[in-house]
Amino acid sequence: MFAAQYNGGSRSEARLLSAILVVAICLTLAPVLRLFVEGVTYQGDPSLTLMRDVLAQPSTISALEHSLITAGCGTLVSLVLGSAFAFLVALTDLRAKAALVFCLMIPMMIPPQITALSWVQIMGPSSALLKTLGIAPPLGAPQPLYSPEGIIFLLGIQHMSIIFLTLRAGLRSVPQDVVEAARISGAKGLRIWWQVVLPLTLPSLGAGTAITFVTALGNFGIPAMLGIPAGYATLPTLVYQKLAGMGTTVLAEVSVLAMLIGVVAVAGILLQRLFQTRQKLHLVGSTSRPLVLPLGKARLPVEILLWAVIFAILVLPMFGLLATSLIPAYGVPLRLDTVSIASWQEVIFRQPSTSRAFTNSFGLAMGASLVLVVICFPLAWLMERRKNRLARLFDSLLDLPYALPGVVLSIAMILLLIKLPFTDATLYGTIWIIFLAYIARFFAVMFRPVQASLKQFDPAMDEAAQSVGASLYRRLRDVIFPLSAPAAAAGAILVFLTAFNEVTVSALLWSSGTETLGVVIFNLDDSGETGMASALAMTIVLVVIVLMALIQLLSRRFPKGVVPWQT
């Protein structure tokens, strides 16, 4: 009787797995496949002529070179900053570690176009903050951030949190016993760090570096706001400029450019997986006692230095953004007689696009989070239970939509949904194409934490529930979901906070009425409305910080693992 019941359950699981897999593949991998088809065809026929012509263009070669330079050097900046913070926070007896970690997460949650805008406001001859302090460069002086060096610097700041998180996770797995053994053998000080700690964390450091490079390669906001005024094009901004110009073969051309970005990104994915496969520490001993190295008399100077860096890369740019939003015209110094809230009033209460953008961004972010929980939770469990060939193939390709730059995914969605199969309808120009792009983009962000939590799940618990007659739905609801809820909640929080401020994907998909917050800020700054752009950007920063603070305050009531930056 139990065998018959089990076989029936297995058949229902197989059918459910197949159905969800088809949906997941259509949402995530179908756009990438459509992009590849467009790139290798010309006027409907298979041909490599157009691909060869596009790749041979000087603008393509120049943009590729610029992308590799800015992404590579930006990753080095992130590596230096992120690893320094990770080693000090994870290994030493610093005070207020939770506050440091919280502050380090904020740059990752702030859209890159706001990061660029805030730094532009504190440098250059028109900086309200520098004018107020009387140290602004003379009028006509160049904006130093409108340069490759400016792009590299801000890419490094924007993505240092990725290095910090991945390396910190690896460092927290190093037990105290290992260092004590090294000390007994005569190792001291930096020798312990160099010969014991660093080799154990190299896989985490390498994986974080690869992820950072891929993310920097696809960054659109910073190269667009700093590179376009300087005539310095990277591959994402070249795609954007080509689409803005339109033409008879523009979709085919940008498909080739998107594939080029994708090839470089895939190389980064493969490098990341190489490091992950080697991440086997084979440590002996419990990790319940984390490694803590006393700093002694150096603790206070180190704390002052770390908080000074936090102030320089986070607080100071926000001051510049706030100052620009409170002046009547760009370039006017901020004084008591020049303070004005006209930009805030205009952009928040009078501009209809702002209220639409808040509604769109909140709805898209919340909707994507909920839909991904509904899809990823049963899919991850079923894939863990029944590892068929299709499931293994999907698992190996799942990270591709997230690793590919946002502009690449946008073009793929345009090609796939500009005309729905077997109909004359289109989703292009509607909010639904942005929504589907968000689901494809952030699928891996939700799926991977849930998958990791379910790998630790004892299947005997599910089998026990099944043996007493529990249906598949009831087992999912009463047994599986409560155990994986913290991981699902952590993924949902990350998806929401990231999608709420997203611009890279929606920059190519929006139309009148479907603007997102990132798009509105980019358009305001591009049209010269710097004060309103700064006011809206400051509003978004405050919203993000308030949301993160509320989550932090409520974290004690949540199960362990719900708050992403506390895991």
pLDDT 10s digits, 403-457: 677 777 888 898 888 888 777 788 888 999 999 999 999 988 888 778 877 776 6
CATH code, 348-566: 1.10.3720.10
- Helix or strand run (H / E) with residue 260: helix 250-277
CA distances 17 to 7, 20, 27, 382, Å, are 15, 5, 15, 6
The C-alpha angle with vertex 3 and arms to 458 and 14, in degrees rounded to 5, equals 65
CA distance 275 to 213: 14
Q: Where are the domains of the chain?
A: 74-234+293-339, 348-566
Check if 74-234+293-339 and 348-566 are the same fold.
yes
- Helix or strand run (H / E) with residue 351: none
pLDDT confidence of residue 552? 80
Our CA dihedral for 149, 152, 153, 158, rounded to 10 degrees, sits at 160
CA distance 519 to 513: 12
CA distance 67 to 237: 10
**Lookup: tokens for 527:** 């049209």
Backbone phi, then psi, for 473, in 5-degree steps?
-60, -40
Residues of the chain with pLDDT under 50: 1-8, 281-288
Environment class of residue 332 by beta-carbon count within 10 Å: exposed (0-12), middle (13-18) or buried (19+)?
A: middle
Our CA dihedral for 20, 26, 27, 31, rounded to 10 degrees, sits at 160
Question: Which residue shows structure tokens 């996770």?
Answer: 169
pLDDT confidence of residue 452? 72
The listed CATH number (3.40.50.1100, 1.10.3720.10, 3.40.1370.10, 3.55.30.10) that belongs to domain 74-234+293-339: 1.10.3720.10
pLDDT confidence of residue 494? 80
Cross-strand bridge partners of residue 132: none
pLDDT confidence of residue 438? 94
Residue 528: which region, alpha, beta or left (left: phi > 0; alpha: psi -120 to 50)? left
pLDDT confidence of residue 180? 63
pLDDT confidence of residue 131? 79
pLDDT confidence of residue 246? 59
| Structural contact between residues 239 and 254, judged by C-beta atoms closer than 8 angstroms | yes
Where b means 16+ CB within 10 Å and e means fewer, 155-176 reads bbbbbbbbbbbbbbbbbbbbbb
**Lookup: tokens for 175:** 């037990």
